[in-house]
């Protein structure tokens, strides 16, 4: 079983919750968005920082359980920019990929930490970013791939599911909405897409200091 948490920290505001999350939910991998990467600790209990983005105002970071996994490779990827990106420059790299080998099973899995363009962009552009992200992770050897994060895609997710079927990926929403700050934008912003994995559950965890709620993805190898 593989336990992965994804959490948008709201410009690092929820960073103080990370240690409790790592301990309370037996986390194997933790993917963070909107973090100040220069202020992140190198370790969170048994989790070790695999890599983080360097030039982003809204950074990405991935931790992994060192006692179970070996990190073989990390890579960051720039994806197609929205007008928001050109004007405000919040994120140069919107995907961080980590290729891990599970020392218990000797299986490899690629985990992607993804932060899509905001709602000011079109769903078409976000679909382009998602497809490009999947292709980038496959290029890392991701026959078994999990891409989690803030997809900024609360509307028309059924249509997104159909688009993903063309590439073999599956979309998994959590049991409850992950963003409830503004009534008009309530919905599933944070979820998982996967290839070669059996997603057992995606659970929305209790609210913290962020405007997003963290999600816990539980998966098995197929």
Q: Alpha-carbon distance 52 to 181, whole Å?
A: 27
Domain ranges within the chain, ordered by starting residue: 2-221
Spans of the chain, pLDDT less than 70 = 81-91, 182-185
Strand partners, 197: 221
Tell me, what's the pLDDT at 119? 78
Evaluate whether 69 touches 103 at the Cβ level (below 8 Å). yes
Across the chain, where does the E strand assignment appear? 2-8, 29-35, 43-44, 47-52, 59-65, 69-77, 95-102, 107-115, 145-150, 170-172, 190-195, 197-204, 215-221
Give the residue among 217, 163, 191, 220 at the shortest CA–CA distance from 8.
191
Host H or E run for residue 83: helix 83-88
Characterize 24-51 residue by residue with b for buried, 16 or more Cβ atoms within 10 angstroms of its Cβ, and e for exposed: ebebbbbbbbbbbbeebeeebebbbbbb
Give the residue among 15, 54, 57, 55 at the shortest CA–CA distance from 32.
15
Q: Alpha-carbon distance 139 to 173, whole Å?
A: 25
Tell me, what's the pLDDT at 86? 46
Tell me, what's the pLDDT at 122? 87
Whether CATH 3.60.10.10 fits 2-221: yes
Host H or E run for residue 20: helix 18-24
Bridge pairing between strands 170-172 and 145-150 = unpaired
Q: Alpha-carbon distance 51 to 49, whole Å?
A: 6
Number of neighbours of residue 175 by Cβ within 10 angstroms:
10
Tokens 């803030």 -> residue: 150
Tell me, what's the pLDDT at 163? 81
Tell me, what's the pLDDT at 157? 79
With residues binned 3-state (H G I as helix, E B as strand, rest as coil), the percentages for the chain, rounded to 5, are 20, 40, 40
Tell me, what's the pLDDT at 140? 96
Q: Alpha-carbon distance 126 to 123, whole Å?
A: 5
Strand partners, 70: 101
């Amino acid at each position: 079983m593989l336990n992965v948490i994804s959490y948008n920290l709201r410009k690092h505001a929820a960073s103080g919750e990370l240690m409790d999350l790592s301990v309370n939910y037996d986390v194997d991998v933790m993917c963070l968005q909107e973090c100040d990467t220069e202020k992140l600790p190198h370790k969170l209990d048994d989790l070790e920082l695999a890599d983080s983005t360097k030039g982003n105002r809204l950074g990405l970071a991935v931790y992994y359980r060192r006692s179970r996994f070996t990190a073989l490779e990390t890579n960051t990827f720039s994806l197609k920019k929205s007008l928001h990106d050109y004007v405000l420059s919040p994120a140069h790299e919107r995907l961080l990929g980590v290729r891990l080998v599970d020392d218990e099973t000797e299986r490899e899995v690629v985990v992607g930490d993804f932060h899509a363009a905001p709602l000011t962009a079109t769903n078409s552009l976000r679909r382009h970013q998602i497809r490009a992200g999947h292709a980038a992770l496959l290029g890392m050897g991701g026959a078994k791939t999990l891409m989690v994060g803030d997809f900024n895609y609360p509307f028309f997710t059924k249509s997104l599911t159909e688009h993903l079927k063309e590439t073999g990926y599956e979309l998994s929403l959590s049991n409850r909405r992950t963003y409830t700050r503004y009534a008009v934008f309530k919905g599933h912003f944070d979820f998982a897409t996967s290839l070669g994995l059996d997603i057992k559950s995606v659970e929305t965890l209790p609210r913290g200091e962020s405007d997003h709620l963290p999600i816990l993805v539980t998966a098995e190898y197929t």
